[in-house]
Structure 1
Amino acid sequence: MTVPTFKLNDGNEIPAFGFGTFQIPADGSTYQAVRQALAAGYRHIDTAAAYFNEQEVGKAIKDSGIPRDKIWVTSKMWLQDYAYEDAKRAINTTLNKLGLNYIDLYLLHQPYGKVSEAWQALEKAQAAGKIRSIGVSNMTPKIWQKWVPGFQIMPAVNQVEFNPYFQQRKLRQILAKTHTTLEAWAPLGEGNRELFAESLLKKLAEKYGKDVGQIILRFEHQEGVIIFPKSIHEARIKSNQEIFDFELTSDEMDAIRGLDRGKGQHDPDAPGVGEMLLNAFDVHAND
C-alpha cells in the first residue's frame, strides 16, 4: 500500500500517515510495535526524547531491512535541553540513540524556556544535514506569535492536539500564512468514549463499512492534517491505515466539522504549564 504524502514548506515530502509511539514502554514493546507497523506498510514513525524509547525505535528500523531513505523518522527535543549548547548535544544524543545519521523531522517538543536558542540549534543542524525538516509542537496561536516571528526559518510543522472535538481553526489560519502543516497528536481523542459514540460518526462507519476510528482518521486526512495513531495491537495497527479506499463527501466533511468544540484536553497557554513540564522528568536520567 502506498501512503499519500504532503509537501512541506521546505519542499520535503512527508508521509501523511504514520505510527505514533507515545506511552509505549521501552521494555521491548516499542520495538515489537514498530516492527509490526513497518511490516504492515507504515513508513513514518514518530518518537521523542521524552518518550524514552528512541533506542527501540532505531533498532526496529535497522532490523526491518527497509532502506533508510524509505522511512520517515520524527523525534523531538525536550525543553530541559533548550539552551544552545545543550540543544546541539541533544540532537547528537537522539541521532546516537536512533542509530541514524540524519533525522527526517525534529521538533521542539514544548514551547517554553529558551525556545529561540533551541530553534537556532535546529536551524544549524538542518544546514549541516543532520535534520531534514524542523518544526515545533504544542504551539497555540498566542505562543506561535510570541516566538515564530523571530525565527529565520519557518517551522515545517506544528504538532498539536487535534481531533473532531478540537479542530484548531484559529491556529490553522495562522499556519496557512507560513504554509506550516499541522500534525495531530491524539488524532482519535485518546480513545474518548463520547467521541466514539457520536451518532454521526457511527452512521458514516456503517455507510462505508468502516469503524468509527477509521472515519475520524479519514476526516483528518482529508483536512490536510498529518496523523499517526498509536497502538500496540497488530490488528489495530493494520486497520488504522485502512482509510485510503474511500472518501467522505463534502457534506459529510462539513457535518464532522460541526462536531468541533474548540477546546482540547491540554491547554499549553495555562499558567505554570512550562514549569510543570520542565520538572516532570529528566530525559538524561538513563544516559
Structure 2
Amino acid sequence: MTYDSSSPPFAPAEVDPQSAAARLAPQLAQFAAVARLEHVTQAAQLLGMPQPTLSRAVARLEAELGVQLLSREGRTVRLTRAGRLLLGGVERALAELERGAEAARAEADPAAGRVAFGFLHTMGTDAVPALLRDFRAEHPKVRFQLVQDYVTAMLERLRAGELDLCLVSPLPDAPDLTARVLDEQRLYLTVPADHRLAGRRRIRLAEVADEPFVAVEEGYGLRAITDGFCAEAGFAPRITFEGEEAETLRGLVAAGLGVALLPPSLVPRPGVVDLEVSAPRTRRAIGLAWATGRPLTPPVAAFRDFVLSRRGRLLEHD
C-alpha cells in the first residue's frame, strides 16, 4: 500500500517555536524514512510499524507544518519542493543526533570511556600521576579529563555534573555529596632557612603566632585548614601574601616574606626548612568525593573503586 495523500486542507498552522521540535521529532524521523525510500510500505517495514500508522504520522506532520511534503505517483511517493527542503534539515539533525548518541556511548564505554577527575594542586606532582599510571596498567584505553582547582570550585563542578570524582581536602559534609577518607597528610611549618626556629626539629604552632604568614587564597581547602589549625593554637594568622600553589608559597617563604603550613615537598627547595608541628596535630584528611545518587558510568565506577582500594596508601611517599 502506498502513501495516501488525501489529507486535510493545508492551512497554515500556528506553531509554538519553543515546543515544535519536541512535538515533531518522532514524525520527522518517520518522514525521513519515507522520503529516502519513496515508498510508505517499505518505510513502514523498515521502521517496524503498521503502514496506516506511518501514513497518518506523515499526514499529521503535513498538517502541523501547513505544507504538502509528499505527492503520490503511482505506487510510490515523491518529495515536493517543501519536502526536499525539510528533508535536508531533518537529515542534518538526525546526523547530529547520531553523533551525540555515539559520543554518549563512547563516554560510558567500560573499556575506553572518559573520567572527569578533579584534584588538589598539591596532589598533582606525585599522588595523582601514580594513581593514573597504576589504573591505566589495567585499563589502558580509559580517557581522563584532569582538572586542578581549589576545593570550592571543584565541588561546584561536581554538583553540576562537569566532574565525576574529586580528590579533595577538607572533605565535604553535605547530603548531596558522598566522600570517603583515603589518607592523612602531615602539614609542616615551612620557615626561611635563616629563621630563628630553623634549627629546631619540631615546634608548637603557637610559637609563630606573631609571625607573618603566606597562604593560599580564600576558598582553597588548605587555607581553611591553616586558619583552623591556627585558631586551635589560639591565634588568627596575619596573612601578608596569598598564592594559588604550594610551590609558590615556598618561594615566598624562601624570600623571607613569611612562614606557611604546607604539605611536604617532593623536591628539596633551597632556602626553606620544614618543621614538624607537635601541637596541634597538623594533619589533613585527603578523600574522594562524588555526587550522591548520581549513576556512575562503568569507567568512572571502575576508577572510583580503584582509588578507594588505595586507602591508606595514597601518600606512601610522605
Same fold, judged at TM 0.5 (above): no
| TM-score normalised over the length of structure 1 | 0.21
* Bigger proportion of residues as strand: 2
Give me the TM-score of the superposition, normalised by structure 2.
0.19
